[in-house]
Amino acid sequence: MSNASADAPTSQPNSKVPYRVVRGICVVVLLAMIAGAVYLFTGGRFHRLGMAWASSEINAYMNGGKHGIVARFLDWDQTADWGRYHRDALVKQGRLVHCQFRFEQIPCPSPEAHYLSTQVAQRQSGQAEAAFTARGRSSAGPIYEVNLWCSPEEVASWETWYEKNNDFSAVQAAMEQDEQLAKQAAQ
């Protein structure tokens, strides 16, 4: 009677990876993780990503879209708090600036205020900061006000936009010009 196990070789070839190779791979992976963490946590990237994530989730809440895995466990207020935390951290780092524009000549509500609100939304389209922009009636009275956050490089552009649109007749003229352009495009 032959035994199958008796025919099997008693010594197996050494299939283990040498310790030095395993240690070398672990060191390379660890260095890559450290480099990735340094990249993520310098230059405001972590807070930028956090604010972008919160902004997309806030937009999903407002538009009835799909939520991410983490956002399923958070309500709207918690997501907004998370976004404000990242926004405020970027402000402290000097990477975001709060700008407040009060349009003393533009009553709110009015077609002119709605026109300016549309312009702000178009200018901030696709930016994470847009979720934290407040547009509407000022607490100081029935005038139009915009509170927004932007990078320091964009402040001059927003101030120019404000100076151009802080005149009631200029806003009315711009509205009429846009209406004429829309009519021409429709023809």
pLDDT truncated to tens, each residue of the chain (187 aa)?
555 555 555 555 566 778 888 888 989 999 898 888 777 777 678 888 888 888 888 777 777 777 777 767 878 788 888 888 988 888 898 888 988 888 888 888 888 888 898 888 888 887 777 777 878 887 777 888 888 888 899 899 999 999 888 888 888 888 888 888 888 888 7
Are the C-beta atoms of residues 126 and 178 closer than 8 Å to each other?
no
Residues 118 and 136: beta-carbon distance below 8 Å: no
What is the arrangement of strands in the sheet containing 143-150, beginning at the earlier edge strand?
97-107, 143-150, 134-137
The pLDDT assigned to 159 comes to 92
- Structure letter (DSSP) for residue 8: S
Quick one: DSSP state of residue 71? G
Predicted pLDDT at 156: 92
- Residue 122's pLDDT is 86
Q: Do the beta carbons of residue 145 and residue 138 sit within 8 Å?
A: yes
Smallest Cα–Cα separation from 149: which of 57, 56, 75, 52? 52
Give the per-residue pLDDT at 170: 86
Identify the pLDDT of residue 160: 92
DSSP string for 103-161: EEEEESSSHHHHHHHHHHHHHTTT-GGGGG-EEEE-TTSSEEEEEEEE-GGGHHHHHHH
